[in-house]
Structure 1
Amino acid sequence: MAENIYKLEETILKNIGGSENIKSYTHCATRLRFQLINDSKVGYDALKSTDGVLGVINKGGQTQIIIGPAVEQVYHRFAGLLKNQKGAGELALDGASLENSENASNPSKTKVVDQVLAYISGSIQPTLPVLISAGMISALLAIAVTMGMDNQSLTYTTLIAVVNVGFAFLPVFVAFSAARHIGTNEFIAAFISLITLNVFNQQAELNLFNLAVPNIKYMNSIIPVLLMVPLLYVVDRLCDKYIPSVAHFTLKSLIMVVVCLPAMLVVFGPVGSLIGGGLANACIWLLETTGPIALAVLSALHPITVMFGMHYLFTPIMTNEVAMTGYSFVLDRALAANFAMAGAAFAVGFKAKKSINKSSGFSSGVTALLSVTEPALYGCLVRLKRPLIAACAAAGISGAFLGIFKVKAYAIASPNLLSLPIFIGGEGMSNFVLACAGALLAFVLGFGLTYVMGFSEEA
């Protein structure tokens, strides 16, 4: 065992300004994500040169430290380290906001767009394991059916019900996560979302306080809860301000539900449905009419959106696509880009002279093929520059191929070797074969372009 298992975590804590500079923190698949009181205290150069840190960026109101697949272990050790810090008990874990900090920065200094993006991203990221697990079960069922499993059997019916829960009740998970992210009651948020799903989901002629309740499909739709939770936060704070503390336990939750539920049903539900449906329809129309061009652009830019941690913003669009049509076109961009980045990383491993680049190329290439792409992106492509250009070009060409043949994803999961069965669906196996061909094309082009273009190892 290492003499000090907190060495990496101590270095991170020191270079983000200490525990007193942290407003909140959480993690996603590969990154520690911090909301800090004063971003100027971050030692970017020191963090980037730290063993175990693949990169550091500040985007969407967050300081993001890229760790790679080991991020969850680092996160838990970081939490353990903070528990030993004086006053660290005041820190909010998993994204819950700190309140009433004397040193808190003026919110007006933070760009509204950054705040909105940080809120959406921070609300969606923790729910991705639900989407991925449901998507993978769906993919495995698709394989089983092609191998002869009866899709009318009780086993299939049971497992597909598990998949449906993951997607249909996604708004509940997002509501909980969003409430935790901004610092209001997660269980009230989830409760309101469950009410809309179980009581008011496409029920005709409903009425609440003499307000006609529109007929809205709440299942799979996460935009209404993303709109509702900030109102819940405001009501929560007003209750703290005007209701005596002795009555909080009895009255506060009641008021939050009575105010936010009608707003959800009459305002946020219809508006969110309109926004979500509009975005999904726009993407479907764009990709069906100009598919090769649109998908080529989205695929080529996907590594860049991953660099800035903004690729999660496509999740509401994809969930609405699947809810409306049963499939997603937008996920194709990640299929093309992920395999292109894997190919570029492997080319670095084969072509590099320095052992550190060879090792980084091969190891991160395998990781990109099997799970996540950030180690390849930050360990090879961004650092060596030309492989990133090659990967983007390969992704764009492969995206055009997928757009020409209108390849569809029938479940949501990060495209990699293990999750390719999410492209099994429709009639026959042609869609799956085309998806595999697109992935192979992306990998070969990423490898070939990187190998031909070369790169400098002096940086």
Structure 2
Amino acid sequence: MSHTALSWIKRQSANLMEFLSSLFLPIIALLVSTGILKGIFILLTVNHWVTIDSSTYTILNAMSDGFFYFIPVFLAYTAAKRFNVDPFTSMLLACVILYPDVTNMLKGEGTVDFFGIPLLSVLYPSSVIPILLAVYGMKYVELVCHKIFPESLKGLFTPPVCIIIMAPITLLILGPLGKAIGGYLGAGYEVIYNVSPLIAGIAVGVLQPFIGILGLQWGFFPIAINNVAVYGFDTLMPLFGSAMFAQAGAALAVAVRSKDKLFKSEALSASITALLGVTEPAVFGVTLRLKKPLVCACVAGGIGGAIAGFFKVSAAAFAIPAVTTLPVFMGPSFMWYVTALGVSFVISFILTVVVGFEDVVSNEPVGESVDK
């Protein structure tokens, strides 16, 4: 492959990751928070503290599942900001395709049409790709409206024109296209995963820190969310869990062995944060900075990922792996998931303690070493 082709691929990959980051970064806190809510809800249900036929169950389910059910609305807003489209019109378009009567009509039996044109059965709750295509298409409708209508009428007539044009186009064309893309995306991941779940687990466990460093994690979130929407479960995020807990173990080892009080505090905080699903402080502030702990965490993450992959651990909903989201991963292989996390954490901790690292003083590297 020529240097020009490689450069083009790198640029396009960087653009894709930057695009996905702009969509998901604004709602990452909600992704983490609703994962915690989902974990609490599943825990209450599994222990029969809440019965399925109760009104309490319905309300708690809405609290834990509402964000993912209506995620097209949130993505409509972030996509509108990205494409420079009116965000509220974009959110209204998302509400149209999520409207309860429309959803019930599309999932019901019988022929559904719009002015005699048949509609394919596409369910938009929890979907990702259809609304992104719809908002992108709305960008051009809005541009035409801004050219046609005088300044005094743009705000009044542009939103209804956009909805009148884009709602049917979304339901007739973009929705089915998005469903097809999502299906191929999920099927593609399944092909790779089914070749060898063990190898997939090792690869993700070892490479996850570098995926985060390069910002590539934004490319995996849509796949995981799409897996839940298409298959009803996800096997990708459990593989991430081992690597994340390995970072927590390495950071804790650094906190134990470091002689600098400030850095000990930072490392301990980073370890706790990683256990709660946010590994950036551990990676950027501790393991990457010291290098050897990063290698130890990668080894441990690969071992834990192999366990999670081999036993095909899955999640009932999208959730960023953390102590607080453990119930989301409850299922036939739940104990193997816990085992994978524990093994990753413990091995990473032990390896980091044994291998050691160049300590820091006042946040500056010095020659003093805590190597064995």
Question: What TM-score do the two structures reach when normalised by structure 1?
Answer: 0.70
Where do 5+ consecutive residues of structure 1 fail to align? 1-109
Question: Are the aligned partners of 1:321 and 1:328 in contact in 2 as well (CA < 8 Å)?
Answer: yes
Is 1:311–2:212 an aligned residue pair? no
Show the 5 A alignment for 1:262-411. 262-411=168-317
Question: Are the aligned partners of 1:339 and 1:369 in contact in 2 as well (CA < 8 Å)?
Answer: yes
What is the Cα deviation at residue 365 of structure 1? 1.2
User: Cα 1:118–1:361, aligned 2, differ >3 Å: closer, same or farther?
Assistant: same
CA distance in 2, matches of 1:147, 1:220: 26
**Deviation per CA, 1:36-88, whole angstroms, max 9, x where unpaired?**
xxxxxxxxxxxxxxxxxxxxxxxxxxxxxxxxxxxxxxxxxxxxxxxxxxxxx
Is 1:135–2:35 an aligned residue pair? yes
Show the 5 A alignment for 1:22-37. none
**Letter aligned with residue 351 of structure 1:** R
2:62 aligned partner? 161
2:6 aligned partner? none
Is 1:227–2:133 an aligned residue pair? yes
**Letter aligned with residue 435 of structure 1:** Y
**Letter aligned with residue 453 of structure 1:** V
Structure whose residues are more often helix by fraction: 2
What is the Cα deviation at residue 229 of structure 1? 1.5
1:82 aligned partner? none
Match for 2:325 among 419, 422, 427? 419
CA distance in 1, matches of 2:140, 2:14: 20
CA distance in 2, matches of 1:136, 1:147: 17
SS of equivalent residue, structure 2 residue 234 = coil
**Letter aligned with residue 432 of structure 1:** F
**Deviation per CA, 1:314-340, whole angstroms, max 9, x where unpaired?**
121111211223221001122111100
**Deviation per CA, 1:83-114, whole angstroms, max 9, x where unpaired?**
xxxxxxxxxxxxxxxxxxxxxxxxxxx94544
Is 1:251–2:157 an aligned residue pair? yes
CA distance in 1, matches of 2:315, 2:263: 34
The structure whose RCO (Cα within 8 Å, separation 6+) is larger is 2
Is 1:455–2:352 an aligned residue pair? no
Alignment size in residue pairs: 347
Question: Are the aligned partners of 2:39 and 2:324 in contact in 1 as well (CA < 8 Å)?
Answer: no
SS of equivalent residue, structure 1 residue 436 = helix
CA distance in 1, matches of 2:71, 2:290: 39
**Letter aligned with residue 119 of structure 1:** F
User: Cα 1:397–1:269, aligned 2, differ >3 Å: closer, same or farther?
Assistant: same
SS of equivalent residue, structure 1 residue 418 = helix
Instruction: Tell me which moved more, 165-174 or 377-386.
Output: 165-174
1:97 aligned partner? none
SS of equivalent residue, structure 2 residue 358 = coil
Is 1:434–2:336 an aligned residue pair? yes
Match for 1:446 among 323, 342, 348? 348
What is the Cα deviation at residue 278 of structure 1? 1.6
Instruction: Tell me which moved more, 401-410 or 228-237.
Output: 228-237
Is 1:123–2:23 an aligned residue pair? yes
User: Cα 1:113–1:264, aligned 2, differ >3 Å: closer, same or farther?
Assistant: farther
2:91 aligned partner? 190
CA distance in 1, matches of 2:128, 2:313: 25
User: Cα 1:124–1:209, aligned 2, differ >3 Å: closer, same or farther?
Assistant: farther
Question: Are the aligned partners of 1:299 and 1:333 in contact in 2 as well (CA < 8 Å)?
Answer: yes
1:145 aligned partner? 45
Question: Are the aligned partners of 1:302 and 1:334 in contact in 2 as well (CA < 8 Å)?
Answer: yes
Instruction: Tell me which moved more, 310-319 or 201-210.
Output: 201-210
**Letter aligned with residue 26 of structure 2:** P
Is 1:206–2:112 an aligned residue pair? yes
Where do 5+ consecutive residues of structure 2 fail to align? 1-9, 360-364, 367-372
User: Cα 1:303–1:177, aligned 2, differ >3 Å: closer, same or farther?
Assistant: same
CA RMSD of aligned residues (A): 2.3
User: Cα 1:113–1:232, aligned 2, differ >3 Å: closer, same or farther?
Assistant: farther
Question: Are the aligned partners of 1:139 and 1:424 in contact in 2 as well (CA < 8 Å)?
Answer: no
**Deviation per CA, 1:278-332, whole angstroms, max 9, x where unpaired?**
2122223432441010121122211112112221221211112112232210011
1:72 aligned partner? none
2:72 aligned partner? 171
What is the Cα deviation at residue 418 of structure 1? 1.8
1:84 aligned partner? none
SS of equivalent residue, structure 1 residue 216 = coil
2:5 aligned partner? none
Question: Are the aligned partners of 2:251 and 2:267 in contact in 1 as well (CA < 8 Å)?
Answer: yes
What is the Cα deviation at residue 153 of structure 1? 2.4
SS of equivalent residue, structure 1 residue 419 = helix
Question: Are the aligned partners of 2:17 and 2:218 in contact in 1 as well (CA < 8 Å)?
Answer: no
CA distance in 1, matches of 2:48, 2:120: 43
**Letter aligned with residue 157 of structure 1:** T
Question: What TM-score do the two structures reach when normalised by structure 2?
Answer: 0.86
**Letter aligned with residue 290 of structure 1:** S
**Letter aligned with residue 83 of structure 2:** I
**Deviation per CA, 1:176-217, whole angstroms, max 9, x where unpaired?**
221123321111111112211225432553333554322212
CA distance in 1, matches of 2:268, 2:32: 25
CA distance in 2, matches of 1:207, 1:188: 24
CA distance in 2, matches of 1:362, 1:207: 59
CA distance in 2, matches of 1:299, 1:264: 38
Q: What fraction of aligned residue pairs are identical, expressed as a percent? A: 32
